[in-house]
Structure 1
Amino acid sequence: MTIHSPDRPFFLPPRSDENNGVDFLGLRQTNLDMMADMIPSINNVTDYIRPFSLVCWVFWKFYDLCSAAGLEDPSREDIDRFRERIEVLFSWGASMHHNGGRIPGTGAVPPAPTPDGQYPLTFSDWKRLQSSTSLIAALWYGPASKIVTGLGFLMPLAGKTGFFRVTGLGIHLAEALDAHLRSNEELYSRLLATLAPVTASREDAVTLWQTWAPDQILEAERVAFHSALFSDKEIGDRNGLLGKRSTTLALAIHHMRHCTSPAHVAEIRQGMALSIGQDGTSYTIPETLIPTRNSWLTLQMRQLQRLSMECLLSWCEDRILADRINETSAMAARFSQGWDGTENRFGDLTTVEDMIALLDAQADSIEGFIAAINEERLENPFDLIATIQQLFRARDPSFAHYAFLGMLLSVAYAGAAASETNSLRLGGAPRLSLDSLRRSMVGLGATSVREAFQYILEAMIISQHFSTAVNRFDGRNQRLRLAIEETGLEAMVGKSWEPTVTEDRLPTLLSLAAQSGIIARNEQNAFWEV
């Protein structure tokens, strides 16, 4: 697509629907980059081992069938037809039985069957898209399966789009699944082990699901995937993907050792960052895990920063839509009327400079910051996130006060964690890194809460939103939620934005680790060390 730069002023086309999205301040990518560095090669939807095995088996079996048929140069149509058939059968079975993790394509509506109950098995017939509902799609298991950035099971073939060679441990996954699928020789021969177009009945999909459902991991699959996901020898080495995954998982396991009962993901996430057990007792961690613990805490503080700032954009929209307040000065006045410094541990302090100094005095290092939280001298960032979310869901406008407090706590962390230069500067000024946030807030000096809040609205929320929207304008779709008119700010949406905390891949990592036998999990989805 070619986009022509405008050579004169023009009006944007009228909006035809709600302005949906997840990143109206441009902060999300930095969080995603930090997550990818902590837990590389997987994503938030790769919950199961079995789809990895299935993807490997598809390409492994395809080449096996081509060799047997004497097909030396298969076409893209050949591989797509075979892969789509397997994926349709798998997701069709999942849609009739599955109630757990995420599997692509389960929302597809079956096409009309033939009079004898047979269904075609192509994406076209099922109205599925390769780019979004295929196992190999970028949203799903594709990137996680590949070499270089993934778990190393598939290698793209140069000059052959859509073709992959199964490598290393991926071969073991494919071979283990193949032996298992052969347990039903009739279905295997008729539906799976052929290059010819075939159809299947609903009963066929049900029977196949009983064989390849993702909760039935084979021992050979478990062993192979364990080796790809985690290595004791790599713990502490953050230079490679396996080392980063292994070290982060080791940090989670270290927390589990200080739990008296199985722990849920939220508890493990917090324990990894704050080194505190279920009984509230702080514990020490090995030297090899400290850099990863520090990075993990930095990610969680960035999560707090992002949620706080995005909620302030939503609060700004609320004031326009619900209260018809169109000026930032009036918004700041409304905010300051409800601000209670005593309630927020600032006593009679009235300037941002003094508030930051009070917070800074509690800790001058990451260890000190963690101790201050565990000793309740500083707000717990996880509790603060929960409070903001709870008040936001209740549409209580006071969530803005806790969001402001979240920004101040993020500023204090950036001061205490000054040694973490690289992670604090991730995103730079354009994406308001933690370092940039601190510099801006400290630079406010002896300004009042009202003046500081007005500055935040204008320079960090509204201007940041305009910048993000303009940079992402593609010539057709505008992403502005606010506009500046003669009468002040106007909302270009019918309802305020509903920000959420970005998933950090920890649930996926723990799920895959449990299936691999590295840790254990119960029916309540709580984990413990094996």
Structure 2
Amino acid sequence: MSADALAELQRLGRKSRDCFVVEPARTGVGGVDPLGLRQINFDLMNEVFPGLNNVARQIRPFTLVTWAWRRTIDLARERREKLPVSAHEDFVARVEVAFVWSMLQIYDQGDLELPGKQVVATRWGEANRITFGDDDWKEFVKARRNSTALTAAINYGPGLRALRLLVDDANQPGVRVPGPKTDGMLDAFEARIAPMLGHRVFNVRGECTLKRGTAEEWAEHWDIDEVLDEERTTFRKRLMGGLASPQRRSGFELLSGVFDEEQEESVTRAAMCDGGDAAAAQRWHRVQVRQAFRLALESLFEWMTGEIGGGILDTGALATRLLEAAGGKTDGTAMEWLKSLVPEELSAVGAMESLEATFATRAGLERAALTALAVALTMPEELQDGSHRQERLPLRRARDDLDRLASETPLAFLHHIVEQWIIAQHTYWSVGRGLADARAGAKRILRLRLVLEPGGWRVTRGGGSNRMPRPTPDRLRTAVSLAIQSGLIEG
């Protein structure tokens, strides 16, 4: 429990002379990573496309933020000002918000790939002006810094550093300066927005106002879709050229070797498992195998909560229902049964496609999920994730369990999957994250969705769900988007 919540309880206790009814607790329901498996997926993706994430898909925001840091530093030097880091960060935030608001004047919100667009649209969607620098603005900047800002760690922040577009200032910790070989890109961008640069937004530190009409006029100058040749050149160097890390270069070479704008994304994803450099293809293949493993277990978790519904089921009953629904060679050993679920030549990508196809109606979900799990478990050792994060259930640990239980019955193996790989994983991560949030005074999110009653497992209040999981995006769309915009591939 957070210190603030405890202090409030103590205050109410001192104030009260008798029992009283309290308001129902307001708790959100979580579930993005119910089994705690996601981090290994991210680790594997970093071996193929380091520096990328699933959000930062456009070149222009990278340019914009890098230029904003150069602008604020240049202004301070010209005026011989020694400013705190917060003053520079505020200037960058103004440029970011002005850009997002400007783009919202010409693009429908749904057509604009920009983090923070919804927050900006909600706050200033009907407004005629934005006032920067007042108390409301300062509170807004503080609230968005780690979430909806372009520079946030979940958005463009990591890419700006990993691609060396921004580096640390040697003279002032916390200040960022443009990285190597960015001058051509930034000069070209500044020339493009030259008609805008006389405005106070780009020149003052105190309060200033941006009118809606002005923001709309600016849109044509820094349009997110109008990438400059100098931006393309800068990104080619960082994705496949001399400034690219060896792994990022091999990842983009692998992509460019198999990409065809006419083919489905899944076809590209599968082709990358066998194309180009063998080491790069193997690293990418490991991503897909791990994706299939995680999606299968999370799908089974959602199936379990649906089966339990408002009642109670024990582990044995869940395992029995799962075995009956999945079918296969149930009279043999666990290993024989598992292999009987896998059609010949079924890939990890194909298994995920088949599983996702069952989500709409859930018909055949049990068999499809166990098939995807079987595909992942029966892959050669070199395609396992190789992670040492034991608490994240690496494939090596799962495979060791399978080897130990291989001669047991299919029902005994499913009992282990339900109890150890799903329920134990879910309980460990839900309780652990909840305690961490409480200590930090963070969001109150109910993550624990199953509790043990005398007769078996019960779904917690609010823990039931009609949603189905989806694979953690593997950065392919980001890689394709940046490769097309930089001219590495045609799309």
Shorter-chain TM-score range = 0.7 to 0.9
| Structure 1, 77-86 or 483-492: larger mean CA deviation | 77-86
Per-residue deviation, residues 297-324 of structure 1 (Å, max 9, x unmatched): 11101000000011111111111116x3
The residue that corresponds to 2:146 in the other structure is 131
Give the corresponding residue for 1:282: none
**Take 2:336 and 2:24, find their aligned partners in 1: how far apart are those partners?**
47
- Partner of residue 390 from structure 1, selected from 357, 361, 383: 357
1:427 Cα deviation after fit = 4.5
Alpha-carbon spacing, 1:320–1:159, altered in 2? closer, same or farther (3 Å) = farther
TM-score when normalising by structure 2: 0.85
Query: Any gaps of 5 or more consecutive residues in structure 1?
Result: 5-12, 235-240, 276-284, 360-372, 522-530
- What are the within-5 Å matches in structure 2 for residues 250-289 of structure 1? 250-256=253-259, 262-273=262-273, 275=274, 285-286=275-276, 289=277
Partner residue in 1 for 2:113? 102
In structure 2, the partner of 1:28 is 38
Q: Is the 8 A contact 1:356 1:442 kept in 2?
A: no
Partner of 1:368: none
Q: Please identify, of 92-101 and 56-65, the stretch whose mean Cα deviation from structure 2 is larger.
A: 92-101
Aligned residues: 456
Shift of 1:458: 0.9
Answering whether residue 229 of structure 2 is matched by residue 219 of structure 1, we say: yes
Checking the alignment, whether the CA contact within 8 Å between 1:93 and 1:209 is kept in structure 2 is yes
Letter in 1 for 2:327: D
Query: CA contact under 8 A between 1:26 and 1:465: conserved in structure 2?
Result: yes
Q: Is 1:153–2:123 an aligned residue pair? A: no
Indicate the SS of the match to 2:436.
Answer: coil
In structure 1, the residue matched to 2:191 is 179
SS where residue 249 of structure 2 aligns? helix
What's the % identity of the aligned pairs?
26
* Cα gap change, 1:457 to 1:358, in 2 (>3 Å): closer
CA contact (8 A) 1:53 1:170 kept: no
Greater RCO, 1 or 2 (C-alpha within 8 Å, sep 6+):
2
2:366 to 383, 400, 403: 400
Q: Give distance in 1, aligned partners of 2:338 and 2:410.
A: 12
User: Hey, what's the Cα distance between the residues in 1 that align with 2:171 and 2:456?
Assistant: 55
- Correspondence 1:484 to 2:458: no
Tell me the amino acid that sits aligned with residue 450 of structure 2. L
- Distance in 2 (alpha carbons) for counterparts of 1:445 and 1:382: 25
Partner of residue 478 from structure 2, selected from 508, 514, 525: 508
Structure-2 residue corresponding to 1:92: 101
Partner amino acid for 2:204?
L
Counterparts of 2:404 and 2:223, CA distance in 1:
57
Query: Do 1:84 and 1:122's aligned partners in 2 also have CA atoms closer than 8 Å?
Result: no
Q: Distance in 1 between matches of 2:85 and 2:394?
A: 44
| Aligned-partner Cα distance in 1 for 2:30–2:126 | 37
Matches within 5 A, 1:450-529: 450-472=411-433, 473-474=435-436, 476=438, 477=444, 479-494=447-462, 495-496=464-465, 498-521=468-491
Work out the CA distance in 1 between the residues paired with 2:302 and 2:398: 19
C-alpha deviations, 1:453-507, integer Å up to 9, x for none?
1221012111111122233222635521111112221111432363211011111
CA contact 1:425–1:435 (8 Å) conserved in 2: yes
The answer to whether the aligner puts 1:208 opposite 2:218 as a matched pair is: yes
**2: distance between equivalents of 1:469 and 1:140?**
25
SS in 1 for 2:359: helix
| Structure 2: segments with no counterpart, 5+ residues | 5-22, 439-443
How much does 1:441 deviate? 1.4
What is the root-mean-square deviation in Å for CA atoms of aligned residues? 2.9
Residues 207 and 104 of structure 1, relative CA distance in 2, 3 Å threshold? same
| In structure 2, C-alpha distance between the alignment counterparts of 1:427 and 1:101, rounded to whole Å | 39
Classify 1:120/1:153 alpha carbon distance in 2 versus 1 (closer, same or farther; 3 Å).
same
* Superposition pairs of residues 48-87 of structure 1, within 5 angstroms: 48-71=58-81, 73-87=82-96
Distance change in 2, residues 1:15/1:404 (3 Å): farther
Whether 1:309 aligns to 2:309 is no
Mapped to 2, the partners of 1:263 and 1:385 lie a distance apart of 18
How far the C-alpha of 1:112 sits from its partner, in A, is 9.9
Preserved CA contact (<8 Å) 1:112 1:119: no
